Amino acid sequence: MPAAIRLAAPEAPAAVLAFPPRPLRWLFLDLNSYFASVEQQLNPALRGRPVIVAPVDTDTTVAIAASVEAKRYGISTLTPVWEAKRKCRDLVVAPAQHEKYVEFHDRIIEEIWKHVPVTMVCSIDEVACRLLDNENSLEAAIALAHRIKAGIRANIGECLTSSIGIAPNRLLAKLATDMKKPDGLIVLQGHELPERLYDVPLREIAGIGAKMERRLAQDGILDIRQYCERRPRDAGNAWGGVNGDRLWYLLHGVDLPDKPTQSRTIGHSHVLSPSKRGLEPTRLTARRLALKAASRLRRKGYRSRLLVLHGKFEDDKSNWRASIKLPNTQDSFVVLHALDQLFPRLAEAGRQRSGGFRLRMIGVTLCEIETVEGDQGSLFAALDPNDPLARETRTLALSRAMDRINERFGRNAVSVGPLNGGRLDAVGTKIAFGRIPEASEFHE
What single letter denotes the amino acid at residue 212?
A: M
Pairing of strands 92-95, 51-54: parallel
- Any idea what DSSP says for residue 274? G
Please tell me whether residue 251 adopts helix, strand or coil conformation: helix
In angstroms, the CA 319 to CA 361 distance is 9
Which residue is catalytic, options 39, 110, 111, 126? 126
CB 281 within 8 A of CB 425: yes
- Any idea what DSSP says for residue 2? -
Express the helix, strand and coil content of the chain in percent, nearest 5 each: 45, 15, 40
The DSSP line for 330-362 is: --HHHHHHHHHHHHHHHHHHHHTSTT-S-EEEE
In angstroms, the CA 397 to CA 29 distance is 42
Q: Give the DSSP H/E element, type plus range, for residue 28.
A: strand 26-31
Neighbours of 202 (CB within 10 A): 17
Neighbours of 99 (CB within 10 A): 8
What single letter denotes the amino acid at residue 188?
A: L
Please tell me whether residue 122 adopts helix, strand or coil conformation: strand
Q: Is 126 assigned a catalytic role?
A: yes
**Interaxial angle between packed helices 98-113 and 34-42, expressed in degrees from 0 to 180 and rounded to the nearest 10:** 100
The DSSP line for 158-193 is: TT--EEEEEESSHHHHHHHHTTSTTT-EEE--GGGT
What phi and psi values does residue 269 have, to the nearest 5 degrees? -135, 165
Q: Give the DSSP H/E element, type plus range, for residue 325.
A: strand 320-329
In angstroms, the CA 308 to CA 323 distance is 4
Neighbours of 72 (CB within 10 A): 11
Active centre residues (catalytic): 126
